[in-house]
Structure 1
Amino acid sequence: MLHKKRKLLKNQKGFTLIELLAVIVILAIIAAIAIPAINTIIKHSKISAIKSDAVQVINAAKLYVSSNSVPTDKKITKEMINKYLDDEVNLNGDYSVTVDEDGGKMVYKLNGTGEDDGVTVTFKDATIGGINDKSTKYDTTVNK
């Protein structure tokens, strides 16, 4: 009878404690690598959203100028272009677009700050080309 019980115990299938610990350690290593990578992706997507809003503001300023002409002080304020914006934009405070002429060509430059859930981007004399250029760096703050 005792011999049969030992044989039954040896035939039982399952994971040992060492095997379970090894799996937990592997999962922890994967999580340690993946979580910072995901946070970086989220941060970059928020910066891209703010930049997209900045381009939308400059395009709204172009629409304003085509409908109303360039203001005498060459400064287009938030209040002037609100009706030309499609959606709410993540630009805070008193952002503005200045219009300069460069060799007969109109150049629109954005000054303002954009914020999206703890990520802040500050634009100073930003043009659409500069905003879309991946190598152009703007003052960026991450609060999280």
Structure 2
Amino acid sequence: MLKKLNHVLKNQRGLTLVELLAVVVILGIISAIAIPSIGGLINNSKKDAHIGNAQMMVNAAKMALSADGNTEGTFTLDTLVKDGYLEEVKNPSNKDGGYDKTNSVVNIGKGSNKVTLIGGQTTYINGEDPFEIARKDVKLP
């Protein structure tokens, strides 16, 4: 029995260089396809987060208006946070900080809502009705 086991062990071979090269090439092709699509998913997630933040600002501004009994007004992000209508809003594109609190503004008017989201030197959203903003309307740095 020992002779059979020894014979089986001697006949075993490892992977050849060609087989290893084939595996590396296949992995390279898969990663070349996967990496750009993952980058696109990350950018779309950030854009969706900016749109969600703009919608939250408009909803908070509408709550502030209804509390005051008004039908139109302009609110900065700083005002909405300080008055307790909105919690601190994080900027998904900037790990170190949020949006510009004084220049990020919501304007609620008769029949139109306008929102501007600014973070650092980048204006992410500047448009009418944030509930109709699409990903193409969001600018990422």
TM-score band, normalised by shorter chain = 0.7 to 0.9
CA–CA distance in structure 2, aligned partners of residues 128 and 113 of structure 1: 14
TM-aligned CA distance change 1:51 to 1:121, over 3 Å: farther
How many angstroms does 1:71 deviate by? 8.2
2:115 matched residue in structure 1: 110
CA–CA distance in structure 1, aligned partners of residues 39 and 47 of structure 2: 13
Secondary structure at 1:13's aligned position in 2? coil
CA–CA distance in structure 2, aligned partners of residues 86 and 29 of structure 1: 45
- Normalising by structure 2, we get a TM-score of 0.72
Q: State the identity %.
A: 35
2:75 matched residue in structure 1: 76
2:50 and 2:138 in contact (8 A); partners too: no
Cα RMSD over matched residues? Answer: 2.8
Equivalence map 1:79-90=2 (5 Å): 79-82=78-81, 83-90=84-91
Q: Structure 1: which 5+ residue stretches go unaligned?
A: 1-6
| 1:27-54 superposed Cα distances (whole Å, 9 cap, x missing partner) | 0111111111111111111111111111
Higher relative contact order (CA 8 A, sep 6+): 2
1:64 and 1:80 in contact (8 A); partners too: no
CA–CA distance in structure 1, aligned partners of residues 17 and 8 of structure 2: 20
2:18 matched residue in structure 1: 18
Aligned residues: 124
CA–CA distance in structure 1, aligned partners of residues 10 and 116 of structure 2: 75
1:48 matched residue in structure 2: 48
Q: Structure 2: which 5+ residue stretches go unaligned?
A: 1-6, 92-97
How many angstroms does 1:22 deviate by? 0.5
- Normalising by structure 1, we get a TM-score of 0.71
Equivalence map 1:94-133=2 (5 Å): 94-102=103-111, 107-113=112-118, 122-131=124-133
2:71 and 2:109 in contact (8 A); partners too: no
How many angstroms does 1:80 deviate by? 2.6
